[in-house]
Amino acid sequence: MRKVGIIGLGHVGATLAYTLVSENLVDELVLIDKNENLALSEEYDLLDAEVFLTGKTTIIIQDYQALKDASVVVFCAGQISALGDDGDRFKELEITSKIVEEVAPKIKQSGFNGIILTITNPCDVIATYMQKLTGFDTSKVFGTGTMLDTARMKQAISRNVSIDGRNVGGYVYGEHGDSQFVAWSTVTVGDRPLLEWNSELGLESLDEAVRAGGWNAFVGKGYTSYGIATCASRLIRMILNDSKTIIPVSAYDEQATVYYGQPVVIGKNGIESYVECPLNEKEKESLKSSIEIIKNGLAKLPFKQ
């Protein structure tokens, strides 16, 4: 049985729930939110939609025990108003870390033994914290990380070289935040290195366009939802189908002892393996700096690495 739980039914959680139901990706969907009335309303709204859909999803609300036999739990609880006007995701940490402290024991107590996917910001810090507090293997807890940022990179290149972004390869590394960076040494269009398509491209301005992508989606409506919910639904599909797909997510690095965005292979067991891409010296320094920023965020939390 294909069963998924979503904890947190704000803009992202609700969009993800609708996506899973409308695409008939799951047989059972568990919805949990601190606001029971919100969870109930989402249930009824989804049931109304199901009348006109081809699939059938059983919806369960407000029941942690129902997570026991789920394959995936998606953690996207938070408070977007804490983000502020500058888009600094670390402003959410004081609130979101407390939610992790409340939710992690309930996930464990339910008997859940599947894969935890975290979306909540600051994504890399929260993924690390969730893994520490649940004690799950690092392969079974990971965040969406730079998956969405990589999509924004592909968009930016697409606009500049007039090629569909789905033909662009490569990865954004590091923090899902201001210290992220495009590993240009990994970027290709088709099978050719990016600069073979256009040697005049300004990589620094492209890098900034990628970094600003989230703000562009956020500033007019005060949140983002479609892009990140689509990332989460695709990751769920990869897990349920054991697809062995290479994708950048926030994954644990044993040497750095933190999570950060990097390419991995996703399958039924979560992170099946890591994809080692040789970074140049500038990229290595950028990654080092990004890891330090993530560690500085973790240092504010009540646990020792």
Domains of the chain: 3-143 (3.40.50.720), 147-298 (3.90.110.10)
What's the average model confidence in pLDDT over 111-138?
97
CB 26 within 8 A of CB 3: yes
Indicate the pLDDT class of residue 90, thresholds 50, 70 and 90.
confident
pLDDT band at 85 (very low <50, low <70, confident <90, very high): low
Q: CA 248 to CA 149: how far, in whole Å?
A: 9
pLDDT attached to residue 206: 86
**Which range in 159-168, 214-223, 236-245 is most confidently predicted, on average pLDDT?**
236-245
pLDDT tens digits along 211-224: 888 788 888 888 88
Residue 8's closest CA among 61, 59, 53, 50? 61
Instruction: Give catalytic residue positions.
Output: 176
Any binding-site annotation on 10? Answer: yes
In percent, the amount of the chain with pLDDT more than 70 equals: 96
What pLDDT is recorded for position 92?
87
Q: Is 143 annotated as a binding residue?
A: no
Residue-level pLDDT at 201: 84
What's the chain look like in SS3?
CCEEEEECCCHHHHHHHHHHHHCCCCCEEEEECCCHHHHHHHHHHHHHHHCCCCCCCEEEECCHHHHCCCCEEEECCCCHHHHCCCCCHHHHHHHHHHHHHHHHHHHHHCCCCCEEEECCCCHHHHHHHHHHHHCCCHHHEEECCCHHHHHHHHHHHHHHHCCCHHHEECCEEECCCCCCEECHHHCEECCEEHHHHCCCCCHHHHHHHHHHHHHHHHHCCCCCCHHHHHHHHHHHHHHHCCCCEEEEEEEEECCCCEEEEEEEEEECCEEEEECCCCCCHHHHHHHHHHHHHHHHHHCCCCCCC
CB of 205 closer than 8 Å to CB of 172: no
Q: pLDDT: is 241 or 199 the higher one? A: 241
Structure tokens at 102: 């409340």
Residue 128: phi and psi, rounded to 5, are: -60, -45
Higher-pLDDT residue of 112, 220: 112
Q: State yes or no: 119 annotated in a binding site.
A: yes
Query: Which residue is associated with the tokens 């953690």?
Result: 75
Per-residue pLDDT at 83: 63
Query: For residues 243 and 25, what is the distance between their CA atoms, to the nearest angstrom?
Result: 14
What number of other Cβ atoms are within 10 A of residue 28's Cβ?
17
8 a known binding residue? yes
**CA-CA distance, 243 to 256, in Å (whole number)?**
28
pLDDT band of 266, cuts 50, 70, 90: very high
298 annotated binding-site participant? no
Taken in order 14, 16, 271, 186, the sign of the CA dihedral is: negative
Q: Is 201 annotated as a binding residue?
A: no
For 11-52, the pLDDT digits (tens) are 999 999 999 999 999 999 999 999 999 999 999 999 999 999
